[in-house]
Amino acid sequence: MAKQQTSSQSTEAKTLRQRAEMLLHAKSAVMPTMPTADVQALVYELNVYQIELEIQNEELRQSQLELADSRDRFSDLYDFAPVSYVTLDKDGRILEANLTAATFLDVERKSLIGANLSTWIDNDAQDDFFLHRKSVFSGNARQICDVNMHKSDGTPMVVRLESIAQEAELQRQSRTALIDVTQQQAAQSALRDLTDTLEQRVAEQTHEVQLLAAAVSHLAEGIVITDDELDWPGPRIRFVNEAMCRITGYTADELIGQSPRVLQGEQTDRRTLSHMKRELAAGRPVLCELINYRKDSTPYAAELYITPLFNSKGHRTNFVSIHRDITERKKLQREVLGIAENEQRRIGQDLHDSVQQELAGLGMLAETLLENLSRTTDKSDDPQASRLRELAIKVVNGIARTHQDVHAIARGLVPVRIDTQGLMDALRELALRTEELAGVTCAFKCEQPVEISDNSTSTHLFRIAQESITNALKHGQPEHILIALESDNGQPILQVADDGTGFDVTEQTRGLGLKTMLYRASLIGASLKVSPVETGGTLVTCRVFLGGGGNLR
Amino acid sequence: MTRAKTPARILIVDDHPMMREGLTTQICNAPDLAVCGEADDVAEALRLVSELNPDLVIIDISLKTGHGIDLIKQIRGSHPKMKMLVNSMYDESVYAERSLQAGALGYLNKQTARETLIDAIHIVLAGKTYISPAMTDRILKSRIGGMIEPGKSPIESLSDRELEVLTLIGQGQTTSGIARQLHLSVHTIDTYREKLKLKLNLANSAELNRCAVQWVLENG
């Protein structure tokens, strides 16, 4: 094509020459008449024209060349573009195709031209191809359609046809790009499958969660889930189940967002709380018993099992606490223990009221018998009479000994006399006896009368005082011991202080004595604290909660 | 104790039959004593006291109905001169002082009664007070540290430390102030305060403070 153009260009140039020569001859006719100067000027003029024309011609040739070059470039772009392009007629015959298209369909380009694209389209997609062509040729809009195709060697693929109609000289043509979307489709279908699986799993898990939620809501144990803030202001409640509401009397809305502190109060043991905090901070689960308070401010005994929850990265995210109301269990426990205690008291009381009286009476009878025997035998030397007298002495002494033993037993069983002032008397007596037996200064301080109607409470308090003194004498070598009984708004407080060397409170916790004291305190709903005294010695404080904690006792 | 003398008439108030029998047998064995009646509760006892006007009533603390201490108070109300001796199974430490305060002249522990009953009856009949030697000792000891000598002020029975504490109280020092000054705990000072109250026979802290101030004014 370029050569043809060049030859037509030279034809043009030739005509231009002839025309120029003709012009020159016409001029030369007048030339002789013209003055030489004028001829010279004309020649010069003509020469300039000629050069101008030559320059023009050269520029034309240059742009011709550039045009051809750019055509070649576009042709290359067309052929080697990464996308397959074909030009189709109405029936799907291929009018033009780029090299990529030939490679794509695995066929030579020359056998591609004139062939029908439907040759490479699967049978089941022929309808789609037909409809695609139809919509392309009926409008000007770009049309897209995915069809299943196969290469000449039979390799299946999914191809996206993107077509747009174009007006050509004789007929409309379709410029169509073929894009392999096999992998994309595969990815999409895999994605779809994944989505389906996910949805199914979500559905399953939702169901599971619903089952769990239903189970959790019907549990007898309260469940509390909090976030993991251990420091002030403390963890916030994120979830509570129905049982928790039932136990505490709060609604879920009232608890969520609050700190579990709303459930704690005066009787809630601070030491247990700090132990709990320590364990949880270390990531360990804790089991403990606490006094908590309901919304109506009645206390109840709660058993808590709290576990930290961790996410997959090992960060602590929440605490779950299982909350059991053990008030009834405690009550039962106390009742069972109370039975033994009452039985003990009953036996002690019986010994005091009847056996001891009987023995005292018998002792008097025997004494009288001995006296009378002595009176008569003093006057005679009858060996029989003196034997009788010896026997009577044995009886008198035997009764006295038995009476003493029974008295000791009864006293051990019933240390505190059964009336409201019994504890004060018993503690005063304890102070006196301690002073007599241990040789220390021991005083009982009681500024105002403290009356306790429940003998079981009195007895336990007395035993706690007794145990405290035993501990003080055993470990501290004190010189002074003070037993103090006072009342703080009707709540009895028992204190036993000594000025001995004191003992290691933490180590002693493991000792049996203190354990028993703690146990006794828990039975009567009292708190017990053992602390060192600044100037040396130990202070035991037992604080009883009457009234408010009534249902716990 | 001549034969011609009429035996003293004794009313026994005790709810335990064996006890009554023991008492009766032993009392009747003494030539100068006689049992004139027996009662087992408060109402019967009051009736018999009025009816028999005995020389002495022996009273148990725990009765079938009512309380021995109440009975003592009631008898004292109606018969101010009636001599009464308490005979109880309870420890002396609990009821001896209270019985004497209520109006009885003596307190006898049933455990030792078989040996001391007749002596106690004679002492009370003579219008004197009877408590066991052990109890007498204990009361004296708790009050005056067991070191009383006739004619001496109870303050002289105080130990040096007790006197020091009393002086500091009299100077208006608080318990914690005294504790700081003597390098002792407040509990120990409280122990001294209680001991002082017992030895000086003071009812409460206010009386102790007053007494201490008085002592400082007179001796400081």
- Would you state the pLDDT for residue A27? 64
Task: Return the DSSP state at B6.
Answer: P
- Tell if the CB–CB gap between B187 and A363 is shorter than 8 Å: no
- Would you state the pLDDT for residue B92? 77
Alpha-carbon distance B195 to nearest alpha carbon in chain A (angstroms) = 6
- Would you state the pLDDT for residue A201? 93
pLDDT digits (tens, 9 = 90+) for A255-294: 999 999 899 988 888 888 888 888 888 888 999 888 899 9
**Selected residue with higher pLDDT from A161 and A39:** A161
Give A-chain residues touching B193 at CB under 8 angstroms. Answer: 443, 445
Share of chain A above pLDDT 90, in %: 33
- Would you state the pLDDT for residue A1? 43
pLDDT digits (tens, 9 = 90+) for A56-78: 999 999 999 999 988 888 888 88
- Would you state the pLDDT for residue A3? 46
Report residue A383's pLDDT band, with 50, 70 and 90 as the boundaries.
confident
pLDDT exceeds 90 at position A10: no
- Tell if the CB–CB gap between A407 and B111 is shorter than 8 Å: yes
- Would you state the pLDDT for residue A550? 41
Alpha-carbon distance A308 to nearest alpha carbon in chain B (angstroms) = 44
Report residue A515's pLDDT band, with 50, 70 and 90 as the boundaries.
confident
Give A-chain residues touching B116 at CB under 8 angstroms. Answer: none
Give A-chain residues touching B22 at CB under 8 angstroms. Answer: 360-365, 368
User: Among all residues of chain A, which has the CA nearest to that of B183?
Assistant: A535
Alpha-carbon distance A363 to nearest alpha carbon in chain B (angstroms) = 6
Question: Considering CB atoms only, which of B21, B194, B204 is closest to A365?
Answer: B21
In A219-304, where does DSSP find H-type helix? 242-248, 252-255, 270-281
Distance CA A46, CA A534 (A): 132
Range of lowest pLDDT (A97-111, A331-345, B21-35): A331-345
Cα–Cα–Cα angle for A437, A442, A443, nearest 5°? Answer: 135
Give A-chain residues touching B184 at CB under 8 angstroms. Answer: 499, 535
Does the bond joining A233 to the residue before it have cis omega, within 30 degrees of 0? yes
Side-chain-facing half-sphere of A4: CA atoms under 13 Å: 2
Asked if residues A290 and A272 have their Cβ atoms less than 8 Å apart, the reply is yes
pLDDT digits (tens, 9 = 90+) for A77-132: 888 888 899 999 988 999 889 888 988 888 888 888 889 999 999 999 999 999 99
φ/ψ of residue A151, rounded to 5? -70, 175
- Tell if the CB–CB gap between A361 and B16 is shorter than 8 Å: yes
Best A355, A407, A480 residue to mutate vs chain B (most B CBs within 10 Å):
A480
- Would you state the pLDDT for residue A148? 92
Report residue A219's pLDDT band, with 50, 70 and 90 as the boundaries.
confident
Measure CA B70 to chain center: 15
Share of chain A above pLDDT 70, in %: 92
pLDDT exceeds 90 at position B84: yes
The enclosing H or E element of A323 equals strand A316-325
Best B161, B187, B189, B199 residue to mutate vs chain A (most A CBs within 10 Å):
B187
Asked if residues B124 and B99 have their Cβ atoms less than 8 Å apart, the reply is no
Share of chain B above pLDDT 70, in %: 92
**Selected residue with higher pLDDT from A416 and B21:** B21
- Would you state the pLDDT for residue A74? 85
Alpha-carbon distance B24 to nearest alpha carbon in chain A (angstroms) = 9
pLDDT digits (tens, 9 = 90+) for B160-183: 889 899 999 999 999 999 998 888
Q: Strands B8-13 and B33-39, how do they pair?
A: parallel
pLDDT digits (tens, 9 = 90+) for A169-217: 778 889 999 998 888 888 988 999 999 999 999 999 999 988 888 888 8
Asked if residues B190 and A443 have their Cβ atoms less than 8 Å apart, the reply is yes
Which single residue is written with the structure tokens 């689960």? A285
Measure CA A162 to chain center: 52
Name the packing angle between helices A455-475 and A422-438 (round to 10°): 20
User: Among all residues of chain B, which has the CA nearest to that of A405?
Assistant: B111
**In this structure, what token pair is assigned to residue A328?**
């009834």
Coil, strand or helix: which one is A124?
Answer: helix
- Tell if the CB–CB gap between A480 and B18 is shorter than 8 Å: no
- Would you state the pLDDT for residue A398? 92
- Would you state the pLDDT for residue A169? 74
Diameter over CA atoms, chain B: 71
Give B-chain residues touching A353 at CB under 8 angstroms. Answer: 16, 62
Cα dihedral A180/A182/A183/A187 (nearest 10): 130
Report residue B8's pLDDT band, with 50, 70 and 90 as the boundaries.
very high
DSSP A284-325: --EEEEEEEE-TTS-EEEEEEEEEEEE-TTS-EEEEEEEEEE
Give B-chain residues touching A403 at CB under 8 angstroms. Answer: 111
pLDDT exceeds 90 at position B23: yes
Alpha-carbon distance B135 to nearest alpha carbon in chain A (angstroms) = 11
Mean pLDDT across A515-536: 83
pLDDT digits (tens, 9 = 90+) for A422-440: 899 889 888 988 888 888 9
Identity of the amino acid at A322: I
Question: Considering CB atoms only, which of A354, A363, A537 is closest to B22?
Answer: A363
pLDDT digits (tens, 9 = 90+) for A295-318: 999 989 899 999 998 888 888 889
Range of lowest pLDDT (A149-163, A248-262, A365-379, A394-408): A365-379
pLDDT exceeds 90 at position B32: yes
**Selected residue with higher pLDDT from A516 and B32:** B32
Specify whether the backbone of A547 is left (phi greater than 0), alpha (psi in -120 to 50) or beta.
Answer: left
Mean pLDDT across A535-545: 88
Mean pLDDT across A27-46: 77
Mean pLDDT across A6-35: 68
User: Among all residues of chain B, which has the CA nearest to that of A407?
Assistant: B111
- Whether the complex's predicted ipTM is more than 0.85 is answered with no
- Would you state the pLDDT for residue B62? 84
Asked if residues B16 and B64 have their Cβ atoms less than 8 Å apart, the reply is no
- Tell if the CB–CB gap between A365 and B26 is shorter than 8 Å: yes
Asked if residues B190 and B179 have their Cβ atoms less than 8 Å apart, the reply is no
Question: Considering CB atoms only, which of A356, A364, A447 is closest to B89?
Answer: A356
Give A-chain residues touching B205 at CB under 8 angstroms. Answer: 447
Give A-chain residues touching B182 at CB under 8 angstroms. Answer: none
Best A367, A421, A433, A434 residue to mutate vs chain B (most B CBs within 10 Å):
A367
Distance CA B22, CA B18 (A): 6
Give B-chain residues touching A447 at CB under 8 angstroms. Answer: 204-205
Which of B212, B214, B194, B213 has the alpha carbon at shortest distance from B204?
Answer: B194
Residues of B with CB under 8 A from a CB of A: 16-23, 25-26, 29, 62, 89-91, 93-94, 110-111, 113-115, 117, 138, 142, 179, 183-185, 187-188, 190-195, 198, 204-205
User: Among all residues of chain B, which has the CA nearest to that of A401?
Assistant: B111
Measure CA B140 to chain center: 11
Give B-chain residues touching A396 at CB under 8 angstroms. Answer: 114
Answer yes or no: pTM beyond 0.95. no
Mean pLDDT across B86-111: 86
Which single residue is written with the structure tokens 């290469």? A151
Alpha-carbon distance A353 to nearest alpha carbon in chain B (angstroms) = 8
Indicate the average pLDDT of chain A: 85
**In this structure, what token pair is assigned to residue A230?**
């251990």
Number of Cβ pairs closer than 8 Å across A and B? 129
pLDDT exceeds 50 at position A553: no
**Selected residue with higher pLDDT from A448 and B145:** A448
Cβ burial of A540 (10 Å; 0-12, 13-18, 19+) is: buried
User: Among all residues of chain A, which has the CA nearest to that of B30?
Assistant: A368
Indicate the average pLDDT of chain B: 86
- Tell if the CB–CB gap between A484 and B62 is shorter than 8 Å: no
Question: Considering CB atoms only, which of A360, A364, A537 is closest to B185?
Answer: A537
- Tell if the CB–CB gap between B185 and A354 is shorter than 8 Å: no
Name the packing angle between helices B113-125 and A356-377 (round to 10°): 80
Alpha-carbon distance B32 to nearest alpha carbon in chain A (angstroms) = 15
- Would you state the pLDDT for residue A548? 42
